[in-house]
């Protein structure tokens, strides 16, 4: 394989990141102003399996009141001897537990976009979730939507202001956001840790946390007015990738009944840039991490003990920077043969997955977020292309995304990431679900918020899905109302369509029907056919 270009860390600040921050912080300021104007009502209590929790009434869309519960523990603090172990049950409490503020977010680097968007306090004691519900005693149980945040599996939180679920709850769903362990605390694998497992595996603690949160929802959400038999998991970026992994995990079977994946890449078989890693590779990375921490020459028992004693900040400091264009994400879910039995691509191809109705899509300018500020020579562009997929496809990639001058290379790489990485992943998972005779819907978000120079960038749709965008009138409001309507109807029935709104067609492989959310909302077909054909051939799914 050709020498790769010097990797550019995903989270390095640049003009493009600042442009995103300007937009997102504008969203946050308006959202915060609205939050400060709330008039709290007398709190109310709900009985969970672990004890009573106290919430409060908050104002949502159109002045409607909903109940908010923040910082409910769904698992025991994963600290001390529970670090690098599956999540354990919560210790019950006897007094009423106030749930009026978010619990700590999981430890993560302080820089980058997520760090500036309000993850708040961080602590290893971070396995908390948040619930918004229109009422705790409805006549009919309500559909439930469980949000899994993004952040490349190393940053993020269910407490980020964009993810506030009160406006979704105002549309008669119970909205839940969760934290899960991140970075080395969530995904470190090591032979010494594997020896402690009956299955001889390690890693995937973050995915186990997500499953534990879904089990909490199954056991407790009825007390909040939700229907445990009608749960939709939805997420963006690493959250959408988590949705894909939950779809192929036997341990998650029956815990959710619909899935929404926003801008998730599915890169495993055929791709060198990975969003899922084999256990062997994860174990080698864990051994390198231990060496970087000065831990070597120890027995397995001593190694496991010492790994649990390393301060969280030292673990983060020893974490390698993301080498996005060389190997993919630093920490990813692990193909351990148990929680994730095989490559998701293979399991989807074989129909061996949790088959549920799916709504999936991507944004028109996903790649701009990751290539902003990147100056590439033609040689560097060629080296990156050589490293994206297995040998034999580099020429086809550069033919489809040509760059004859250095100033064309950045845009070519951006389009490649957008179409071959993100759009093809959503298309393939939709195709896999449709092939099982289950409804699937595909979309592309093309709207450019606040005329951002990065276009419809990675994550641009999130404030519109949650109703936490900055504009309270005009087309932004209309677009948000449409997206909230489509998303919540899908959660309720598996069909996003409603009377008087553009009809979102079912996905069919023949014409690849999808919905465009842009300056207009309209059905379309044949999304990036050449890119998707090439991606399918890279995955070995077409000759």
Place of tokens 């004890």: 51
Q: Is residue 221 part of a domain?
A: yes
Locate 61 and state its tokens.
């869309």
Q: Is residue 240 part of a domain?
A: yes
Q: What is the DSSP letter of 137?
A: S
Give the C-alpha separation, 292 to 209, whole Å: 27
To the query of whether residue 237 is one of the catalytic residues in this protein, the response is yes
* The three-state (H, E, C) secondary structure of 362-409, written as one string: EECCHHHHHHCCCCCCHHHHHHHHHHHECCCCHHHHHHHCCCCCHHHH
Residue 72 β-bridge partners: 129
Give the C-alpha separation, 59 to 231, whole Å: 24
Continuous segment of H or E residues that includes residue 58: strand 51-59
Q: Is residue 2 part of a domain?
A: no
At 379, give phi and psi (nearest 5°): -65, -45
pLDDT of residue 205: 98
For residue 176, the SS3 value is strand
Q: Is residue 17 within 8 Å of residue 372, measured between CB atoms?
A: yes
Please tell me the total count of domains within the chain.
Answer: 1
Q: Is residue 9 part of a domain?
A: no
Locate 538 and state its tokens.
């890279």
Residue 277 β-bridge partners: 334
Q: In CATH, what number is assigned to the domain containing residue 116?
A: 3.40.50.1820
For residue 28, the SS3 value is helix
Q: With left for phi above 0 and alpha for psi between -120 and 50, is residue 469 left, alpha or beta? A: beta
Give the C-alpha separation, 464 to 351, whole Å: 33
Which of these, 373, 322, 374, lies nearest to 10 by C-alpha position?
322
Which of these, 34, 365, 359, 84, lies nearest to 203 by C-alpha position?
84
Place of tokens 């090439």: 534
pLDDT of residue 320: 81
- Note the Cα 255 to chain centre separation in Å: 17
Long-range contacts formed by 525-531: CB under 8 A, 24+ apart? 527/423, 527/427, 527/442, 527/444, 528/419, 528/423, 528/424, 530/400, 531/400, 531/419, 531/420, 531/423, 531/424
For residue 259, the SS3 value is strand
Active-site entry in 28, 50, 202, 237? 237
To the query of whether residue 458 is one of the catalytic residues in this protein, the response is yes
Active-site entry in 245, 257, 441, 458? 458
Q: With left for phi above 0 and alpha for psi between -120 and 50, is residue 69 left, alpha or beta? A: beta
Q: Is residue 450 part of a domain?
A: yes
pLDDT of residue 110: 79
pLDDT of residue 41: 45
Task: Look up the domain containing 396 and give its range.
Answer: 15-538
CA dihedral 217, 480, 472, 475 (to 10 degrees): 180
pLDDT of residue 510: 79
Alpha carbon of 485 to those of 140, 169, 174, 205, 364: distances in Å?
19, 12, 14, 34, 21
Q: Is residue 219 part of a domain?
A: yes
To the query of whether residue 366 is one of the catalytic residues in this protein, the response is yes
Residues 6+ apart with CB under 8 A from 146: 176, 177, 178, 213, 214, 217, 231, 232, 233, 234, 256
pLDDT tens-place values along the chain, 543 residues long: 333 333 333 333 343 444 444 344 444 433 333 333 343 444 589 999 999 999 999 999 778 999 999 999 999 999 999 999 999 999 999 999 999 999 999 999 976 554 546 798 999 999 999 999 997 777 899 999 999 999 999 999 999 999 999 999 999 999 999 999 999 999 999 999 999 999 999 999 999 999 999 999 999 999 999 999 999 999 999 999 999 999 999 999 999 999 999 999 999 999 988 899 999 999 999 999 999 999 989 999 999 999 999 999 999 999 887 776 766 678 999 999 999 999 999 999 999 999 999 999 999 999 999 999 888 999 999 999 998 987 789 999 999 999 999 999 999 999 999 999 999 999 999 999 999 999 999 999 999 998 999 999 999 999 999 999 877 678 999 999 999 999 999 999 999 999 999 999 999 887 899 999 999 999 999 999 999 999 999 999 987
* The three-state (H, E, C) secondary structure of 500-536, written as one string: CCCCCCCCCCCCCCEEEECCCEEEECCCCHHHHHHHH
Which of these, 134, 154, 156, 153, lies nearest to 145 by C-alpha position?
134
Which of these, 442, 437, 402, 440, lies nearest to 422 by C-alpha position?
442
pTM of the complete model: 0.91
Q: Is residue 6 part of a domain?
A: no
Residues 6+ apart with CB under 8 A from 36: none
Active-site entry in 272, 349, 366, 380? 366
CB neighbourhood size of 453 (10 A): 15
CA angle 347–352–357, rounded 5-degree value: 100
DSSP output for 411-475: HHHHHHIIIIIIIHHHHHHHHHHHHTT--EEEEEE---GGG-TT-S-TTTTHHHHHT--S--SSH
Which of these, 509, 504, 500, 508, lies nearest to 521 by C-alpha position?
504
């Amino acid at each position: 394989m050709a020498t790769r270009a010097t990797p550019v860390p995903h989270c390095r600040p640049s003009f493009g990141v600042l442009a995103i921050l300007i937009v997102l912080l504008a969203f946050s300021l308006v959202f915060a102003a609205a939050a400060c104007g709330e008039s709290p009502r007398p709190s109310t209590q709900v009985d969970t399996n672990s004890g009573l929790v106290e919430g409060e009434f908050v104002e949502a869309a159109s002045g409607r009141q909903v109940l908010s519960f923040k910082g409910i523990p769904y698992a025991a603090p994963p600290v001390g001897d529970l670090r690098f172990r599956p999540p354990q049950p919560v210790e019950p409490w006897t007094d009423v537990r106030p749930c009026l503020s978010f619990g700590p977010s999981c430890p993560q680097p302080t820089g980058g976009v997520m760090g500036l968007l309000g993850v708040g306090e961080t602590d290893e004691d971070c396995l908390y979730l948040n619930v918004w519900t229109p009422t705790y005693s409805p006549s009919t149980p309500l559909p439930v939507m469980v949000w899994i945040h993004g952040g490349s599996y190393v940053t993020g939180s269910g407490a980020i202001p964009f993810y506030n679920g009160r406006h979704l709850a105002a549309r008669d769903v119970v909205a839940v956001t969760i934290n899960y362990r991140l970075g080395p605390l969530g995904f470190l694998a090591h032979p010494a840790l594997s020896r402690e497992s009956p299955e001889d595996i390690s890693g995937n603690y973050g995915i186990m946390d997500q499953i534990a949160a879904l089990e909490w929802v199954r056991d407790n959400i009825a007390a909040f007015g939700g229907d445990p038999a009608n749960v939709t998991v939805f997420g963006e970026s690493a959250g959408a990738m988590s949705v894909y992994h939950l779809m192929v995990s036997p341990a998650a079977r029956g815990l959710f009944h619909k899935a929404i994946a926003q801008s998730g890449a599915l890169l495993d078989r055929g791709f060198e840039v990975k969003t899922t890693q084999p256990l062997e590779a994860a174990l080698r990375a864990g051994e390198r991490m231990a060496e970087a921490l000065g831990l070597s020459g120890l027995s397995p028992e001593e190694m496991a003990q010492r790994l649990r004693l390393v301060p969280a900040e030292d673990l983060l400091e020893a974490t390698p920077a993301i080498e996005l264009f060389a190997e993919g994400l630093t920490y990813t879910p692990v193909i351990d043969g148990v929680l994730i039995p095989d490559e998701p691509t293979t399991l989807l191809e074989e129909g061996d997955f949790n088959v549920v109705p799916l709504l999936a899509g991507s944004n028109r300018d996903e790649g701009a977020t990751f290539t902003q500020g990147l100056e590439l020579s033609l040689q560097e562009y060629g080296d990156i292309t050589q490293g994206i997929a297995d040998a034999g496809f580099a020429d086809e990639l550069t033919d489809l995304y040509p760059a004859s001058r250095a100033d064309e290379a950045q845009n070519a790489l951006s389009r490649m990431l957008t179409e071959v990485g993100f759009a093809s992943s959503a298309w393939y998972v939709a195709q896999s679900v449709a092939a099982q005779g289950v409804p699937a819907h595909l979309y592309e978000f093309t709207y450019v918020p606040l005329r951002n120079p990065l276009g419809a960038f990675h994550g641009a749709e999130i404030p519109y899905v949650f109703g936490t965008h900055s504009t309270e009138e005009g087309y932004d409001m209309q677009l948000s109302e449409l997206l909230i309507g489509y998303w919540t109807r899908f959660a309720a029935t598996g069909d996003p369509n409603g009377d008087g709104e553009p009809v979102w067609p079912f996905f069919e492989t023949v014409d690849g029907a999808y919905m465009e959310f842009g300056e207009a909302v309209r059905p379309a077909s044949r999304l990036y056919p050449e890119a998707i054909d090439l991606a399918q051939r890279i995955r070995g799914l077409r000759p």
